[in-house]
Amino acid sequence: MPVDSYELLNLAFQFLDSFAFIVLATVGLAIIFGMMGIINLAHGEFILVGAYATTLSFHAGLPLPLAMLAGVVATTVFGVILERTIIRWLYGRLLDSMVVTFGISLVVVQLVRIQWGNSLPQIGTPLGGISYGNYSYSAYRVLLAGVAIVVLAALYVLFTKTDFGVRARATMQDEETARSMGVDTDRMYLSTFAIGSALAGLTGALYAPATPMSPDLGASFLVEAFVAVVVGGPSVLLGTPLAGGLLGLVDAAFTNVGGQFIGTVALLLTAIVAIRLLPDGITGLLEDIREKRRETE
């Protein structure tokens, strides 16, 4: 195989890696922010809970898949408790939700630091590497791209093809009308928040073998997650994969040329330009195009 082909293959793996990271970091936040209107600044700490629960369960003797399941369950329970005790009083109060969830994030980080110190022994990355030419890439990180696509497909089916999805979307769009139609809106809010929490826990569980364990772990996911949500626009189910594809391509291309720092800078500059030119995000632009087509027909 020619050397250029190896470089293209390396770029493709980096794109899949960046796409998976952005999508998995974003989905939980997109559900809670995009559908419920809660700006969850503790989203990174939800991921932290999933990663720590997975790592601690693994070191306690559970096989890795069961440890990951424990991480998802722990984060879901954590999210449900927060929703019932704090978050439920913040629906429709955007700024208040930001302040409160920021406070929650600080408390969680400090509690983790007090309990387990500044680091945990990391789980080894499974599946080994894929070698090609002078390059090699982690097979596990490539697998995460497949997981990200499966998660997106499952969310699409859940929120567009099931009775639960119809009720959840009706609740988020017009709570009073949904309630008058017999929808238990309180249950819909709780269920949707639990799903967002579980997705954040899944992200932490999946990246536990691939990321150093420290109390600041959540911060490494938060920036990409918020950038992708804003660039994606109001339709979270469509916007998340589109934003993940665009930002992942930019990140992979510039990381391949100049390293991780240059890739991150390019990603943020792309986000700034996208927000400046597309104030309603990618899906807002698509909706405008669709509306103009309807008017011309």
Which domains occur in the chain, in start order?
A: 5-296 (1.10.3470)
For residues 171-189, give the mean pLDDT. 80
Per mean pLDDT, which of 60-74, 130-144, 264-278 is the most reliable? 60-74
Top mean-pLDDT range of 13-27, 51-65, 232-246: 51-65
Return the top range by mean pLDDT from 2-11, 111-120, 237-246: 111-120
- The structure's pTM equals 0.85
Is the pLDDT at 47 greater than 90? The verdict is yes
Strand, coil or helix: what is 24? helix
Say if residue 255's pLDDT is above 90: no
Residue identified by tokens 């990246």 is 207
Of all helices (H) and strands (E), which one includes residue 132?
A: strand 129-132
Average pLDDT over residues 126-141: 82
Question: What pLDDT, on a 0 to 100 scale, did the predictor assign at position 131?
Answer: 81
Work out whether the CA dihedral 244, 214, 196, 70 comes out positive or negative.
Answer: positive
> What phi, psi does 123 have (nearest 5°)?
-75, 140
Using the predicted structure, report yes or no on whether residue 3 has a pLDDT greater than 60: no
Mean pLDDT of 246-265: 84
Query: What is the average pLDDT value for the chain, to the nearest integer?
Result: 85
pLDDT recorded at residue 2? 52
- In whole angstroms, give the CA distance from residue 279 to residue 194: 29
pLDDT over 90 percentage in the chain: 20
Q: How does residue 72 score in pLDDT terms, banded at 50, 70 and 90?
A: very high
- Asked which of 1-15, 91-105, 255-269 is least confident by mean pLDDT, the reply is 1-15
Q: State the pLDDT at residue 106.
A: 92
Q: Which two tokens stand for residue 85?
A: 């005790």
Stretch 24-51: mean pLDDT: 83
For residue 190, give the amino acid letter. L
Position 169 confidence tier, pLDDT thresholds 50, 70, 90: confident
CA distance 245 to 267: 12
List all residues 6 or more positions away from 71 whose beta carbon is below 8 Å from its beta carbon: 49, 50, 51, 52, 53, 54, 57, 201, 202, 204, 205, 208
